[in-house]
Amino acid sequence: AQTVTQSQPEMSVQEAETVTLSCTYDTSESDYYLFWYKQPPSRQMILVIRQEAYKQQNATENRFSVNFQKAAKSFSLKISDSQLGDAAMYFCAYRAPYYTGANSKLTFGKGITLSVRP
């Protein structure tokens, strides 16, 4: 079974600085999807960024980028120029390839709470 591990329960960053959130996963598949979701105090789950495993290039969305290391099964999120609005819980998630029949569901890590200091 796939597992997703986020070993840091909390992190803190100074406003305007850069922070990296770590995530590792375990799978026997070679073609899959990885995601970072943000959950602010409103509780809404917001997709931040996604990475297709078959793509070697790391995904980037504005101030958010990932460091995808497929061989190491590592998928970290870098937030540049941190803003107060980035304070939230962040979840790493895995989605199996469609041919496994398991692509209808996500496996989540336990999450990390990010605080941003003004």
Partner 1 sequence: NAGVTQTPKFQVLKTGQSMTLQCAQDMNHEYMSWYRQDPGMGLRLIHYSVGAGITDQGEVPNGYNVSRSTTEDFPLRLLSAAPSQTSVYFCASSYGSGANYNEQFFGPGTRLTVL
Instruction: Provide the binding-site residues for partner 1, judged by CB under 8 A.
Output: 4, 6, 9, 33, 42-45, 47, 50, 52, 91, 93, 95, 97-99, 103-111
> Given the complex with partner 1, which of 63 and 110 has the nearer CB atom?
110
> Given the complex with partner 1, which of 73 and 95 has the nearer CB atom?
95
* Min dist. Cβ of residue 73 to partner 1 (A): 17
Nearest CA among 47, 26, 33, 34 for reference residue 90: 47
d(CA 60, CA 7): 23
* Min dist. Cβ of residue 69 to partner 1 (A): 20
| Segment holding 45, helix H or strand E | none
> Given the complex with partner 1, which of 6 and 27 has the nearer CB atom?
6
> Given the complex with partner 1, which of 12 and 44 has the nearer CB atom?
44
d(CA 68, CA 52): 10
* Min dist. Cβ of residue 58 to partner 1 (A): 16
Report the 3 state secondary structure along 64-109: EEEEEECCCCEEEEEECCCCHHHCEEEEEEEECCHHHCCCCCEEEC
